[in-house]
Amino acid sequence: MPHRLGKYLLLKSVGESMDNKVYSCIDQETEEISAIKVFILDGHDSKSKFEAYQTEVESLELLAHYPHIVTMLGKCDEATFLKSDGSSHKVCYIVMELLERDIFDYVSMTDTFPAPILRHILKQLLQAVSFMHSQGYVHRDIKLENCCFDKDYNIRLCDFSSASAQHKDGLLHMNTMKGTQGYMAPEMLSEGIYKGRDIDIFALGVLLFTLRTKSAPFVSAELKDRAYRLFSLHQFEELWKSYESNFKS
Ligand SMILES: Nc1ncnc2c1ncn2[C@@H]1O[C@H](COP(=O)(O)OP(=O)(O)OP(=O)(O)O)[C@@H](O)[C@H]1O
Ligand SMILES: [Mg+2]
Protein backbone atom coordinates (compact mmCIF):
# COMPACT_ATOMS: atom_id res chain seq x y z
CA MET A 1 0.00 0.00 0.00
CA PRO A 2 1.47 3.41 -0.92
CA HIS A 3 2.34 5.72 1.98
CA ARG A 4 0.23 8.82 2.46
CA LEU A 5 0.74 11.80 4.70
CA GLY A 6 -2.23 14.16 4.72
CA LYS A 7 -2.98 15.00 1.11
CA TYR A 8 0.49 13.85 -0.03
CA LEU A 9 1.18 10.51 -1.64
CA LEU A 10 4.82 9.55 -1.11
CA LEU A 11 6.59 8.46 -4.30
CA LYS A 12 10.19 7.49 -3.53
CA SER A 13 12.97 8.13 -1.07
CA VAL A 14 15.32 10.92 -2.19
CA GLY A 15 17.45 11.19 0.93
CA GLU A 16 17.75 10.05 4.48
CA SER A 17 19.88 10.36 7.57
CA MET A 18 19.87 8.56 10.90
CA ASP A 19 17.01 10.81 11.97
CA ASN A 20 14.80 11.75 9.06
CA LYS A 21 13.60 10.65 5.67
CA VAL A 22 13.03 12.79 2.58
CA TYR A 23 10.68 11.58 -0.16
CA SER A 24 9.37 12.93 -3.42
CA CYS A 25 5.59 13.24 -3.16
CA ILE A 26 2.51 14.30 -5.07
CA ASP A 27 -0.19 16.61 -3.76
CA GLN A 28 -3.35 14.64 -4.54
CA GLU A 29 -5.44 17.81 -4.87
CA THR A 30 -3.18 19.83 -7.19
CA GLU A 31 -1.02 16.99 -8.61
CA GLU A 32 2.05 19.10 -7.85
CA ILE A 33 5.26 17.15 -7.20
CA SER A 34 7.36 18.23 -4.20
CA ALA A 35 9.71 16.88 -1.54
CA ILE A 36 8.60 16.00 1.97
CA LYS A 37 10.98 15.76 4.94
CA VAL A 38 9.53 13.46 7.60
CA PHE A 39 10.71 13.70 11.22
CA ILE A 40 9.80 10.49 13.08
CA LEU A 41 8.84 11.34 16.65
CA ASP A 42 8.48 7.94 18.35
CA GLY A 43 11.84 7.49 20.02
CA HIS A 44 13.36 8.73 23.27
CA ASP A 45 14.75 11.73 21.31
CA SER A 46 11.37 12.87 20.00
CA LYS A 47 11.57 16.18 21.92
CA SER A 48 14.88 17.18 20.31
CA LYS A 49 13.65 16.05 16.89
CA PHE A 50 10.53 18.17 17.24
CA GLU A 51 12.73 21.12 18.23
CA ALA A 52 14.88 20.53 15.12
CA TYR A 53 11.69 20.53 13.03
CA GLN A 54 10.55 23.80 14.64
CA THR A 55 13.96 25.37 14.07
CA GLU A 56 13.88 24.39 10.40
CA VAL A 57 10.32 25.70 9.94
CA GLU A 58 11.09 29.03 11.63
CA SER A 59 14.26 29.53 9.59
CA LEU A 60 12.62 28.62 6.29
CA GLU A 61 9.62 30.85 6.99
CA LEU A 62 11.96 33.76 7.44
CA LEU A 63 14.33 32.94 4.59
CA ALA A 64 11.70 31.66 2.15
CA HIS A 65 11.85 32.59 -1.48
CA TYR A 66 15.43 33.75 -1.47
CA PRO A 67 16.90 32.24 -4.67
CA HIS A 68 19.59 29.98 -3.23
CA ILE A 69 17.69 28.76 -0.19
CA VAL A 70 15.26 25.85 -0.46
CA THR A 71 11.62 26.96 -0.58
CA MET A 72 9.23 25.58 2.03
CA LEU A 73 5.73 24.93 0.67
CA GLY A 74 3.97 23.60 3.74
CA LYS A 75 4.34 21.93 7.13
CA CYS A 76 2.45 19.79 9.59
CA ASP A 77 3.19 19.64 13.34
CA GLU A 78 1.44 16.33 13.97
CA ALA A 79 0.56 13.43 11.68
CA THR A 80 0.49 9.64 11.65
CA PHE A 81 2.69 7.74 9.23
CA LEU A 82 1.28 4.30 8.38
CA LYS A 83 3.86 1.73 7.33
CA SER A 84 3.11 -1.14 4.95
CA ASP A 85 3.61 -3.65 7.80
CA GLY A 86 0.64 -2.06 9.59
CA SER A 87 2.69 -0.22 12.23
CA SER A 88 2.31 3.52 12.65
CA HIS A 89 4.59 6.39 13.64
CA LYS A 90 3.91 9.81 15.06
CA VAL A 91 5.62 12.32 12.75
CA CYS A 92 5.80 15.96 11.74
CA TYR A 93 6.82 17.04 8.26
CA ILE A 94 7.95 19.85 5.99
CA VAL A 95 6.96 20.08 2.32
CA MET A 96 9.55 21.71 0.05
CA GLU A 97 10.30 22.23 -3.60
CA LEU A 98 11.74 19.02 -5.05
CA LEU A 99 15.42 19.38 -5.87
CA GLU A 100 17.93 17.22 -7.74
CA ARG A 101 20.73 15.36 -6.02
CA ASP A 102 22.89 16.97 -3.34
CA ILE A 103 26.43 17.93 -4.35
CA PHE A 104 27.95 15.15 -2.24
CA ASP A 105 26.40 12.71 -4.72
CA TYR A 106 27.90 14.61 -7.65
CA VAL A 107 31.34 14.58 -6.05
CA SER A 108 31.07 10.82 -5.51
CA MET A 109 29.93 10.20 -9.10
CA THR A 110 32.13 12.58 -11.08
CA ASP A 111 35.70 13.70 -11.39
CA THR A 112 36.76 16.95 -9.70
CA PHE A 113 34.73 20.00 -10.64
CA PRO A 114 36.40 22.42 -13.06
CA ALA A 115 37.09 25.94 -11.75
CA PRO A 116 34.15 27.70 -13.54
CA ILE A 117 31.66 25.25 -11.99
CA LEU A 118 33.27 25.73 -8.59
CA ARG A 119 32.94 29.48 -8.96
CA HIS A 120 29.27 29.09 -9.90
CA ILE A 121 28.56 26.92 -6.84
CA LEU A 122 30.56 29.06 -4.43
CA LYS A 123 29.09 32.34 -5.67
CA GLN A 124 25.53 31.08 -5.15
CA LEU A 125 26.33 29.58 -1.76
CA LEU A 126 27.94 32.83 -0.64
CA GLN A 127 24.82 34.72 -1.73
CA ALA A 128 22.64 32.35 0.32
CA VAL A 129 24.89 32.51 3.37
CA SER A 130 25.35 36.27 3.26
CA PHE A 131 21.57 36.77 2.94
CA MET A 132 20.94 34.37 5.84
CA HIS A 133 23.54 36.15 8.00
CA SER A 134 22.06 39.54 7.12
CA GLN A 135 18.71 38.24 8.43
CA GLY A 136 20.36 37.29 11.72
CA TYR A 137 20.47 33.54 11.11
CA VAL A 138 23.36 31.06 11.09
CA HIS A 139 23.11 27.61 9.48
CA ARG A 140 25.69 25.63 11.51
CA ASP A 141 25.66 22.53 9.29
CA ILE A 142 26.93 23.66 5.91
CA LYS A 143 28.30 20.63 4.04
CA LEU A 144 28.06 18.93 0.64
CA GLU A 145 25.04 16.83 1.65
CA ASN A 146 23.06 19.94 2.61
CA CYS A 147 23.47 21.70 -0.73
CA CYS A 148 21.32 20.49 -3.63
CA PHE A 149 21.08 21.49 -7.26
CA ASP A 150 17.72 22.49 -8.69
CA LYS A 151 16.71 21.35 -12.18
CA ASP A 152 18.71 24.23 -13.74
CA TYR A 153 21.83 23.38 -11.72
CA ASN A 154 21.44 26.35 -9.43
CA ILE A 155 22.32 25.73 -5.81
CA ARG A 156 19.86 25.56 -2.93
CA LEU A 157 21.06 25.52 0.65
CA CYS A 158 18.97 22.94 2.60
CA ASP A 159 18.63 21.39 6.04
CA PHE A 160 18.09 24.25 8.48
CA SER A 161 17.50 21.96 11.46
CA SER A 162 20.71 23.16 13.17
CA ALA A 163 20.16 26.83 12.35
CA SER A 164 19.83 29.53 14.96
CA ALA A 165 18.86 33.13 15.19
CA GLN A 166 21.62 35.35 16.47
CA HIS A 167 22.04 39.00 17.10
CA LYS A 168 22.32 40.81 13.78
CA ASP A 169 25.76 42.22 14.57
CA GLY A 170 27.02 38.62 14.44
CA LEU A 171 29.20 39.09 17.51
CA LEU A 172 27.19 37.06 19.97
CA HIS A 173 29.01 33.97 21.16
CA MET A 174 27.22 30.63 20.92
CA ASN A 175 28.01 27.44 22.78
CA THR A 176 25.92 24.58 21.41
CA MET A 177 27.90 21.89 19.55
CA LYS A 178 26.27 21.66 16.12
CA GLY A 179 27.26 20.43 12.71
CA THR A 180 29.37 17.66 11.23
CA GLN A 181 32.84 16.88 12.51
CA GLY A 182 35.00 17.48 9.43
CA TYR A 183 33.33 20.86 8.88
CA MET A 184 33.46 22.10 12.48
CA ALA A 185 35.64 25.12 13.18
CA PRO A 186 38.59 24.68 15.60
CA GLU A 187 37.16 27.05 18.22
CA MET A 188 33.97 25.00 18.41
CA LEU A 189 35.97 21.79 18.89
CA SER A 190 38.51 23.15 21.35
CA GLU A 191 36.55 25.68 23.40
CA GLY A 192 32.93 25.03 22.56
CA ILE A 193 32.41 28.79 22.20
CA TYR A 194 32.14 30.39 18.79
CA LYS A 195 30.62 33.11 16.65
CA GLY A 196 27.94 31.60 14.45
CA ARG A 197 28.91 33.42 11.29
CA ASP A 198 32.54 32.35 11.59
CA ILE A 199 31.68 28.68 11.74
CA ASP A 200 29.54 28.93 8.59
CA ILE A 201 32.47 30.54 6.75
CA PHE A 202 34.87 27.85 8.00
CA ALA A 203 32.49 25.11 6.79
CA LEU A 204 32.28 26.80 3.38
CA GLY A 205 36.08 26.60 3.15
CA VAL A 206 36.03 22.87 3.89
CA LEU A 207 33.26 22.41 1.32
CA LEU A 208 35.19 24.29 -1.37
CA PHE A 209 38.37 22.31 -0.71
CA THR A 210 36.44 19.03 -0.92
CA LEU A 211 34.75 20.02 -4.17
CA ARG A 212 38.08 20.96 -5.71
CA THR A 213 40.09 17.93 -4.62
CA LYS A 214 37.48 15.21 -3.96
CA SER A 215 39.12 14.81 -0.60
CA ALA A 216 38.40 16.36 2.80
CA PRO A 217 41.18 18.71 3.99
CA PHE A 218 41.37 16.92 7.35
CA VAL A 219 39.30 14.62 9.53
CA SER A 220 38.93 17.13 12.33
CA ALA A 221 40.19 20.70 12.83
CA GLU A 222 42.26 19.82 15.90
CA LEU A 223 46.02 19.85 16.38
CA LYS A 224 46.07 16.08 16.96
CA ASP A 225 44.95 15.72 13.31
CA ARG A 226 48.15 15.67 11.19
CA ALA A 227 46.67 17.41 8.14
CA TYR A 228 45.06 20.15 10.22
CA ARG A 229 48.32 20.60 12.15
CA LEU A 230 50.23 21.08 8.87
CA PHE A 231 47.57 23.57 7.78
CA SER A 232 47.83 25.61 10.94
CA LEU A 233 51.64 25.56 10.83
CA HIS A 234 51.50 26.71 7.17
CA GLN A 235 53.55 23.68 6.11
CA PHE A 236 51.79 23.59 2.78
CA GLU A 237 54.43 21.71 0.79
CA GLU A 238 54.30 18.72 3.08
CA LEU A 239 50.53 18.97 3.26
CA TRP A 240 50.06 18.91 -0.53
CA LYS A 241 52.39 15.91 -0.77
CA SER A 242 50.05 14.00 1.52
CA TYR A 243 47.09 14.88 -0.72
CA GLU A 244 48.84 14.14 -4.02
CA SER A 245 47.35 10.71 -4.51
CA ASN A 246 43.81 12.12 -4.37
CA PHE A 247 44.31 15.42 -6.07
CA LYS A 248 43.59 15.67 -9.77
CA SER A 249 43.89 18.96 -11.65
N1 LIG B 1 14.00 19.54 -1.17
C2 LIG B 1 14.71 18.44 -1.45
N3 LIG B 1 14.62 17.84 -2.64
C4 LIG B 1 15.34 16.71 -2.92
N5 LIG B 1 16.19 16.14 -2.04
C6 LIG B 1 16.32 16.70 -0.83
C7 LIG B 1 15.60 17.87 -0.46
N8 LIG B 1 15.94 18.20 0.81
C9 LIG B 1 16.82 17.28 1.20
N10 LIG B 1 17.06 16.36 0.23
C11 LIG B 1 17.97 15.20 0.31
O12 LIG B 1 17.70 14.53 1.54
C13 LIG B 1 18.90 14.49 2.35
C14 LIG B 1 18.52 14.64 3.82
O15 LIG B 1 17.82 15.89 3.98
P16 LIG B 1 18.23 16.90 5.15
O17 LIG B 1 19.67 17.19 5.04
O18 LIG B 1 17.28 18.04 5.13
O19 LIG B 1 17.90 16.01 6.39
P20 LIG B 1 18.82 15.44 7.56
O21 LIG B 1 20.26 15.47 7.20
O22 LIG B 1 18.17 14.21 8.00
O23 LIG B 1 18.55 16.55 8.55
P24 LIG B 1 18.89 16.64 10.06
O25 LIG B 1 20.20 17.35 10.10
O26 LIG B 1 17.72 17.42 10.51
O27 LIG B 1 18.98 15.25 10.62
C28 LIG B 1 19.79 15.63 1.81
O29 LIG B 1 21.15 15.33 2.06
C30 LIG B 1 19.43 15.64 0.33
O31 LIG B 1 20.19 14.66 -0.37
MG1 LIG C 1 21.33 17.01 6.16
Tell how far the Cα of 179 is from the centroid of ligand 1, in angstroms: 14
Indicate the pTM of the whole model. 0.93
Domain that holds residue 207: 103-217
Q: What is the pLDDT of residue 1?
A: 54
Q: What is the pLDDT of residue 116?
A: 93
Backbone angles phi, psi at 133, to 5 degrees: -65, -40
- Percent above pLDDT 90 for the chain: 71
Classify residue 58 as exposed, middle or buried by CB count within 10 Å of its CB (0-12, 13-18, 19+): middle
Does residue 76 sit in the same domain as residue 125?
no
Task: Band the pLDDT of 134: cuts 50, 70, 90.
Answer: very high
Give the ligand 1 atom nearest the CA of 97: 1
Q: What is the pLDDT of residue 246?
A: 59
Does residue 114 sit in the same domain as residue 179?
yes
How, if at all, do strands 88-96 and 137-138 pair? unpaired
> Is 57 or 86 the better-scoring residue by pLDDT?
57
Q: Atom 26, ligand 1: which residue's CA is nearest?
A: 161
- How does pLDDT run across 110-121, given as a tens digit for each residue? 878 889 999 999
Does residue 115 sit in the same domain as residue 208?
yes
Give the ligand 1 atom nearest the CA of 105: 31
Tell how far the Cα of 231 is from the centroid of ligand 1, in angstroms: 31
Residue type, 7: K
Does residue 110 sit in the same domain as residue 35?
no
Overall domain count for the chain: 2
Does the C-beta of 147 come closer than 6 Å to ligand 1? no
DSSP codes, 29-75 = TT--EEEEEEEE--STTHHHHHHHHHHHHHHHHHHTT-TTBPPEEEE
Q: What is the pLDDT of residue 245?
A: 62
- How does pLDDT run across 215-243, given as a tens digit for each residue? 899 999 999 999 999 999 999 999 888 88
Residue ranges near ligand 2 (ion) with Cβ within 5 Å: 146, 159
Q: What is the pLDDT of residue 137?
A: 92
pLDDT at 173 over 80: no
